[in-house]
Chain A
């Protein structure tokens, strides 16, 4: 068996297809982008090599810094608001309630709807005059709370966050739930026999058992936030006056509005680096938790 598990041909058979596919379609293009990021290039005319100038320009670009800060805020909202809600729901369901399956499906429904559908729907919800939100506030007599949600620089960013957090609550809930469900029945049974109540069960047995899934969810939440694009693109296009700008949207505008391909590629590379660094930090943090 040892020999079979070291069989080079078998290893190649299993790994090469995925590796080649992933390499050619994802890694190589990203390296190309890295190359582009060192160029002054409008996509049409001959590019000029300018070294790291694009990066120097980026880290001093107020707009880029604002976009980065916004994406961090979104990541924080995901990790500290969305994930706890998802965990709470998953733990309630996993403990067994009447209608467990129904609830799980209801919570999950927004996840399966296309981002462009969700964004267009929320655009209508936020409509200043006829939107669901202002109408409901109005019918409750809360006229002071009615806002021009997407049109006000003070509320636009928050208004973009809400549907993103809303949509993916069910996603993380399902992952926590499925991880908790796959904990061995004997482990649960043993704890029950020991007389643990449900809350103790959650904190002492279930959560420690699903730490790998929690780690995965934290990573998904953070990288998803830093890469977020579709929702903000449709809802505000980063406006008004850059109030809800995020890095990927900025990159998009640099490609398609101002045609600064080199500069845009530099943003793309920085987004990747940013995700990488944060993931490593999360991995390290969880590694020390798991050791304890």
Chain B
């Protein structure tokens, strides 16, 4: 151990000295990196790579800025992008979110770099879709997610319930759990996106992934019987008391805690839920089974279609003074995070990771990965695909469905109107 450290130190010293000797002329540059992981494991992963990168590039200093996600998304990045003052490299969401920034010319197109570094061969198929605008690539795909039903096998066994594969079985499960005074399913409806997780996935079941993708892109309409049906199914769950008491006053994380403590049997969530399932802090290690959302009779999307995709990306500021260095850093950081996030059970990788040792990976996440291997279609969460006022309308309509102030038919009609209005 000690010798190792000593050697490392010595090597570093020699490197610094030699570089200093050679690179006198090399200007010292600073790259600003904006991200959303101020604390914990994720921030350690980020810092880890910054150290690696700085050691490899002694003339580059990385100034990292971490902001909490919601503030970053709503306030900080938006305001900064209005005069291109965000970091040289910045975390961003693809789909509808980054579209405004791309339109405003705040993001650097990366096609040249993709060719130069041969990136197309290194990433998984379909991971560029949501970072591509007008045929140009703007985002390095960071991670993938998929929506699945996390089930606590222990509770299912305890009450003699079968893990649902069809909608009828789902409703039976809900009723049985309720009769036994167990909240059947997690939902923090104060965070409207959490309702959207379920309704969006149900729409994949009823309307099929291809249709929904077209409709969200404006090439088809959302006011169809299938979309109405997806809202009806959500309402059906709500009326059967599938969700926690007071769900409209609960945030997603707050609500999720009861699942993590083994008190609630079902949670329809993104693959990121996996890390919580395997965390020693929680009480459900080894009890969680992963299943696709139950199929709906007559629905156009079968059990191999999912909600999910790539939405998290690294982008480069169009106004950066050092685009080459910025891209190199963005690329390295993206690869590093893609792998590390997979290992800690945060997300599915977007990159081919030939050297990865899966024994380090969260077992539940591997189950999710295996589950979706046969996937035939994905649809992103609507709120990441849509933009501006359409997102707001979507949220209000979803909460309206849960509060009982909006009917499924209204939901579909008004969603369509909102998508048209936002254009």
Q: Do any beta carbons of A and B sit within 8 angstroms of each other in the complex?
A: yes
Tell me which residues from 182 to 200 in chain B have a Cβ below 8 Å from any Cβ of chain A.
Answer: 189-190, 192
In angstroms, Cα B246 to Cα A240, docked, is: 11
Of A43, A153, A240, the contact of B190 (CB 8 Å cutoff): A240
In angstroms, Cα B402 to Cα A153, docked, is: 11
Tell me which residues from 143 to 176 in chain A have a Cβ below 8 Å from any Cβ of chain B.
Answer: 148-153, 156
Contact of B100 with A126 in the complex, beta carbons under 8 Å: no
Tell me which residues from 85 to 108 in chain B have a Cβ below 8 Å from any Cβ of chain A.
Answer: 100-101, 103-104, 106
Which interface residue of A123, A153, A256, A260 has the most chain B CB atoms within 10 A?
A256
**Which residues on the B side are within 8 Å of A43 (C-beta)?**
78-79, 82
What is the distance, in angstroms, from B77's C-beta to the closest C-beta of chain A?
A: 10
Contact of B100 with A259 in the complex, beta carbons under 8 Å: yes
Tell me which residues from 235 to 269 in chain B have a Cβ below 8 Å from any Cβ of chain A.
Answer: 244-250, 254
Residue in B closest to A260 when the chains form the complex, CB atoms: B389
Contact of B104 with A45 in the complex, beta carbons under 8 Å: yes
Residue-wise, chain A 40-72 has the 8 Å CB interface mask toward B (1 for contact) of 001111000000000000000000000000000
A253 at the interface (CB under 8 A from B): yes
* Given known A-B contacts A42-B388, A148-B248, A260-B389, A240 and B189 have beta carbons under 8 A apart: yes
* Given known A-B contacts A42-B388, A43-B78, A44-B106, A129 and B248 have beta carbons under 8 A apart: no
* Given known A-B contacts A240-B190, A241-B396, A152 and B246 have beta carbons under 8 A apart: yes
Contact of A149 with B392 in the complex, beta carbons under 8 Å: no
Contact of A44 with B101 in the complex, beta carbons under 8 Å: yes
A104 at the interface (CB under 8 A from B): no
Contact size range, B? 20 to 34
Residue in B closest to A148 when the chains form the complex, CB atoms: B246
Residue-wise, chain B 286-307 has the 8 Å CB interface mask toward A (1 for contact) of 0000000000000000000000
What is the distance, in angstroms, from B264's C-beta to the closest C-beta of chain A?
A: 11
Of A42, A44, A152, the contact of B249 (CB 8 Å cutoff): A152
Of A128, A153, A242, A253, the contact of B245 (CB 8 Å cutoff): A128
Contact of A258 with B389 in the complex, beta carbons under 8 Å: yes
Which interface residue of A150, A237, A239, A240 has the most chain B CB atoms within 10 A?
A240
In angstroms, Cα B106 to Cα A257, docked, is: 19
B81 at the interface (CB under 8 A from A): yes
What is the distance, in angstroms, from A213's C-beta to the closest C-beta of chain B?
A: 37
Contact of B82 with A240 in the complex, beta carbons under 8 Å: no
In angstroms, Cα B171 to Cα A108, docked, is: 52
In angstroms, Cα B75 to Cα A256, docked, is: 6
In angstroms, Cα B400 to Cα A233, docked, is: 19
Which interface residue of A42, A44, A260 has the most chain B CB atoms within 10 A?
A44
What is the distance, in angstroms, from B349's C-beta to the closest C-beta of chain A?
A: 31
Contact of A150 with B74 in the complex, beta carbons under 8 Å: no
A248 at the interface (CB under 8 A from B): no
Residue-wise, chain B 391-418 has the 8 Å CB interface mask toward A (1 for contact) of 1100010011011010000000000000
Interface class of chain A by DSSP: loop
Contact of A151 with B249 in the complex, beta carbons under 8 Å: yes
Residue in B closest to A149 when the chains form the complex, CB atoms: B249
* Given known A-B contacts A44-B100, A45-B104, A129-B244, A240 and B78 have beta carbons under 8 A apart: no
Residue in A closest to B405 when the chains form the complex, CB atoms: A241
Residue-wise, chain A 227-246 has the 8 Å CB interface mask toward B (1 for contact) of 00000000011011110000
Contact of B388 with A151 in the complex, beta carbons under 8 Å: no
Residue-wise, chain A 116-154 has the 8 Å CB interface mask toward B (1 for contact) of 000000010011110000000000000000001111110
**Which residues on the A side are within 8 Å of B405 (C-beta)?**
153, 241
In angstroms, Cα B78 to Cα A150, docked, is: 30
What is the distance, in angstroms, from B260's C-beta to the closest C-beta of chain A?
A: 14
What is the distance, in angstroms, from B381's C-beta to the closest C-beta of chain A?
A: 15
Contact of B247 with A151 in the complex, beta carbons under 8 Å: yes
In angstroms, Cα B392 to Cα A151, docked, is: 19
Contact of A128 with B249 in the complex, beta carbons under 8 Å: yes
Contact of B190 with A237 in the complex, beta carbons under 8 Å: yes
What is the distance, in angstroms, from A254's C-beta to the closest C-beta of chain B?
A: 9
Contact of A45 with B78 in the complex, beta carbons under 8 Å: no
**Which residues on the B side are within 8 Å of A236 (C-beta)?**
190, 249
Contact of B190 with A258 in the complex, beta carbons under 8 Å: no
In angstroms, Cα B97 to Cα A259, docked, is: 11
**Which residues on the B side are within 8 Å of A239 (C-beta)?**
190, 192, 248, 399
What is the distance, in angstroms, from A18's C-beta to the closest C-beta of chain B?
A: 28
Of B78, B101, B248, B400, the contact of A151 (CB 8 Å cutoff): B248
Tell me which residues from 241 to 281 in chain A have a Cβ below 8 Å from any Cβ of chain B.
Answer: 241-242, 253, 256-260
Residue in B closest to A257 when the chains form the complex, CB atoms: B392
Contact of A241 with B247 in the complex, beta carbons under 8 Å: no
Contact of A257 with B247 in the complex, beta carbons under 8 Å: no
* Given known A-B contacts A253-B392, A258-B389, A241 and B403 have beta carbons under 8 A apart: yes
Contact of B399 with A150 in the complex, beta carbons under 8 Å: no
19 contacts between A and B (CB under 8 A): A44-B101, A126-B249, A127-B254, A128-B244, A128-B245, A129-B246, A150-B248, A150-B249, A152-B249, A239-B192, A239-B248, A240-B190, A241-B400, A242-B396, A253-B392, A257-B389, A258-B392, A259-B78, A259-B100
Query: Given A44-B106, A148-B248, A259-B78, 12 more contacts at CB 8 Å?
Result: A44-B103, A44-B104, A45-B104, A123-B254, A127-B246, A129-B246, A149-B246, A151-B247, A151-B250, A152-B246, A240-B248, A257-B388
Partner-A contacts on B (CB < 8 A): 74-75, 78-79, 81-82, 100-101, 103-104, 106, 189-190, 192, 244-250, 254, 388-389, 391-392, 396, 399-400, 402-403, 405
